Amino acid sequence: LVRAEGIISSVSDVTVLFSTTHLLDFLEEPIPGVGTYDDFHTIDWVREKCKDRERHRKINAKKKESAWEFTKSLYDAWSGWLVVTLTGLASGALAGLIDISADWLNDIKEGVCLNAMWFNHEQCCWGSNETTFAERDKCPQWKSWAGLILGQEEGPGSYIMNYFMYIYWALSFALLAVLLVKVFAPYACGSGIPEIKTILSGFIIRGYLGKWTLLIKTVTLVLAVASGLSLGKEGPLVHVACCCGNIFSYLFPKYSKNEAKKREVLSAASAAGVSVAFGAPIGGVLFSLEEVSYYFPLKTLWRSFFAALVAAFVLRSINPFGNSRLVLFYVEYHTPWYLFELIPFILLGVFGGLWGAFFIKANIAWCRRRKSTRFGKYPVLEVIFVAAITAVVAFPNPYTRQNTSELIKELFTDCGPLESSQLCQYRSQMNGSKAFVDASPNKPAGPGVYTAMWQLCLALVFKIIMTIFTFGLKVPAGLFIPSMAIGAIAGRIVGIAVEQLAYYHHDWLVFREWCEVGTDCITPGLYAMVGAAACLGGVTRMTVSLVVIVFELTGGLEYIVPLMAAVMTSKWVGDAFGREGIYESHIRLNGYPFLDAKSEFTHTTLAREVMRPQRSDPPLAVLTQDNLTVEELQGIINETSYNGFPVIVSKESQRLVGFALRRDITIAIGEEKLRRQVVGENAQRKQGDILLTSRVYFTQHAPTLPADSPRPLKLRSILDMSPFTVTDHTPMEIVVDIFRKLGLRQCLVTHNG
């Protein structure tokens, strides 16, 4: 009847390693070193929570004793708020810094401000007296490189000169970025969100959120954005914020000493990161809740909200864009949308889903290629290569030359009377260079619009291709902005197409009742926004948080329905091709242990079929509770590679007593050896190390031993008296639920005890 118990090496590839030792009985002093984690190991949530409750209880108990203890308890109670406040402040400040310096470096590619080097193009021209918007871009203070070197602004020579300088700066920025990353902080590359998801799910990657990573990531992020590569700074901002959270959490023992509590801070930090990335505090909280967080108690919700707000306010007071907005592309539309428009919106959703699925497949394939083939050996060359291609192709096309977020802004904003962009040159008034349009009526498109269409189509193809190769390079690279740009371009094209359709065929049934001539019924900018949301949704598979983020960008409830329609369509279309978002795919690609809380798990097997060892395997190594010697114990440890051993009553009746860990046992024996050498027991007797022959027992009382036998070694303190057990008939889905919800490390399978 008796069957050996087995350890389920968890379904989530969590390496079975470390047991819950929440029952170190506190009579004996706990052995130092027990209860810490190695690098690249998963934490035990249950145990961490118990540790925290224990600490909390101690503090409460001592609180009454003295005023000093009371203040300490107060400090402890407030540390949670302090740390999120500090995190919010830091992330807001860093975000502002990054925005400003990225703008400046980005403009350096094109020219320089004569009277003040450190001004970017816009700031440089603020002082100028050409205040008309068409003329705004050319002010005397701002010299393009051609103008500076050749002394002439126009002509093919200067064009080539600018072209050359553009490429030169782009390459040097990219080179500097990749070198910095390679030399100082290899962890600083990529968007960081997959790793943060993994860390939040309980994995430990030392140094991933350290100060070096923070420093290098901040610098290289600016360089990477400025180098004109097809990447964004939004994703890495989350990583930066998490670094801040991690660093500040070291100021508070409550968080630095407890991995689970630290992850609460990180959840709040990621919320702050998104909040500054998109100027969407609520969206940030929902992002942290929906996308990255694993264990998200309500207290964390509240603190994340607070951190997100603080960060947003710091950023607003820094005011990096000079528009008193948190983000460059904040828009307000004034015309409502009509039911018929849902059709193009849903089409955009389909496009977004297709793009997302295609991008994930292509990008993952490419990254795998890079990992496998020797081509991945030369990250620096790769970056230079990609940057060169990007720069060469990007420069001729104004829509790819300019900063991506500026592109998105231009695509989002509707054609108002003050819009000078090519996109708004409608035919009604092509008189003179200034293309002023009064917002309201739909107009037939002018040549400017048509050229813009072509350039946008080219830009679309270009961005689609480059993004696939860029995401995954060894530089900080975010995915939000490129995806949004692609979607915005597609959306704007569709929008203008519909607009022209409505203008020329306003007698069609679909347009007739709501779109007469001279009325403004179609808002191309709205299409761009919907497309951006759809593409972003297709890539990341975010839903609520994404809609809320974009809702906070537009600040109008009216447009939520189009957004939801598009985002949901894109998610469904994308899921049809593959259920994982880009982040899950990269987690899988890098082989991090991550048990997705969202994915539905549909095993029909029972625990007995999954557990190890199977009947075919050699039986599991078990320890008996009171008749092993240290020598036998060490033998078992050396022979087997298991990380823990079930302790049973005796070989005859194999009933489970508890669970003891390899790591703890070795530490304990080492300790004991030291102590005995100090006491000098070995010296007293002649034969060598008597420790080996002495008995080990896990029971409460020492077993009866023959008189001359050496002093037995009591290991009850490292014995986990309450291992999680399931019967061998438990269905796997329940086991997975237990692992997922309690955050276990391992689970023992028993048959009739």
Q: What is the 3-state secondary structure (H, E, C) of 19-30?
A: CCCCCCCCCCCC
Q: Quick check: 458 and 397 in contact, CB under 8 A?
A: yes
Among 34, 35, 55, 56, binds its own copies (CB under 8 A): 56
Question: Total binding residues for its own copies by CB under 8 A?
Answer: 63
Among 29, 600, 652, 708, binds its own copies (CB under 8 A): 600
Identity (one letter) of the amino acid at 593?
A: P
Task: Tell me which residues in 303-322 interact with its own copies (CB under 8 A).
Answer: 305-306, 309, 312-313
Nearer to its own copies among residue 82 and residue 734 (C-beta): 734
Torsion, CA 600, CA 604, CA 609, CA 610, rounded to 10: 0
Nearest distance from C-beta of residue 653 to its own copies, angstroms: 8
Among 129, 373, 431, 602, binds its own copies (CB under 8 A): 602
DSSP strand pairing (748-750 vs 725-727): parallel
Q: Which stretch binds its own copies (CB under 8 A): 86-94, 124-132, 473-481, 651-659?
A: 651-659
Nearest distance from C-beta of residue 517 to its own copies, angstroms: 27
Is 737 a binding residue for its own copies by CB under 8 A? The answer is yes
Nearest distance from C-beta of residue 194 to its own copies, angstroms: 18
Nearer to its own copies among residue 273 and residue 281 (C-beta): 281
Among 232, 281, 352, 644, binds its own copies (CB under 8 A): 281
Q: Which stretch binds its own copies (CB under 8 A): 121-129, 408-416, 560-568, 702-710?
A: 560-568
Beta bridge partners of 113: 142
In terms of C-beta density within 10 A (0-12 exposed, 13-18 middle, 19 or more buried), how is residue 373 classed? exposed
Return the closest-CA partner of residue 295 out of 204, 199, 192: 199
How many whole angstroms separate alpha carbon 498 and alpha carbon 496?
5
How many whole angstroms separate alpha carbon 91 and alpha carbon 95?
6
Nearest distance from C-beta of residue 570 to its own copies, angstroms: 14
Q: What is 404-469 written as a DSSP string?
A: HHHHHHHHHS---TT--SGGG-BGGG--SS-----SSS---B-HHHHHHHHHHHHHHHHHHHHHHH
How many whole angstroms separate alpha carbon 223 and alpha carbon 233?
10
Q: Which stretch binds its own copies (CB under 8 A): 19-27, 142-150, 179-187, 357-365?
A: 19-27
Is 439 a binding residue for its own copies by CB under 8 A? The answer is no
DSSP strand pairing (623-624 vs 656-661): unpaired
Residues 6+ apart with CB under 8 A from 615: none
Nearer to its own copies among residue 402 and residue 543 (C-beta): 543
Report which secondary-structure segment, H or E, holds 386. helix 379-394
Nearest distance from C-beta of residue 309 to its own copies, angstroms: 6
Among 24, 98, 223, 282, binds its own copies (CB under 8 A): 282
Is 342 a binding residue for its own copies by CB under 8 A? The answer is no
Nearer to its own copies among residue 544 and residue 636 (C-beta): 544
Q: Which stretch binds its own copies (CB under 8 A): 30-38, 451-459, 638-646, 733-741?
A: 733-741
Is 723 a binding residue for its own copies by CB under 8 A? The answer is yes
How many whole angstroms separate alpha carbon 234 and alpha carbon 745?
34
Nearer to its own copies among residue 702 and residue 734 (C-beta): 734
Is 655 a binding residue for its own copies by CB under 8 A? The answer is yes
Is 108 a binding residue for its own copies by CB under 8 A? The answer is no
Among 11, 23, 318, 690, binds its own copies (CB under 8 A): 23
Nearer to its own copies among residue 497 and residue 738 (C-beta): 738
Return the closest-CA partner of residue 485 out of 109, 234, 172: 234
Q: Maximum distance among all alpha carbons in the chain?
A: 112
Among 3, 49, 55, 673, binds its own copies (CB under 8 A): 49
Nearer to its own copies among residue 337 and residue 395 (C-beta): 337
Q: Quick check: 316 and 277 in contact, CB under 8 A?
A: no
Is 733 a binding residue for its own copies by CB under 8 A? The answer is yes
Among 48, 195, 290, 672, binds its own copies (CB under 8 A): 290
Task: Tell me which residues in 484-543 interact with its own copies (CB under 8 A).
Answer: 543
Nearest distance from C-beta of residue 313 to its own copies, angstroms: 7
What are the CA-CA distances from residue 369 to residues 254, 366, 375 (Å)?
43, 5, 8
Q: Which stretch binds its own copies (CB under 8 A): 105-113, 115-123, 602-610, 611-619?
A: 602-610
Q: Quick check: 534 and 351 in contact, CB under 8 A?
A: yes
At 42 the three-state DSSP class reads: strand
Identity (one letter) of the amino acid at 677?
A: Q
Structure tokens at 230: 């097809």
Among 201, 483, 694, 730, binds its own copies (CB under 8 A): 730
Return the closest-CA partner of residue 83 out of 245, 235, 321, 230: 245
Interface residue list for its own copies (CB under 8 A):
1, 20, 22-23, 46, 49-50, 53, 56-57, 281-282, 285, 289-290, 297-298, 301-302, 305-306, 309, 312-313, 543-544, 547-548, 551, 555, 557, 560-561, 564, 597-598, 600, 602, 604, 607, 649, 655-658, 721-723, 725-727, 729-731, 733-734, 737-738, 741-742, 750, 752-753
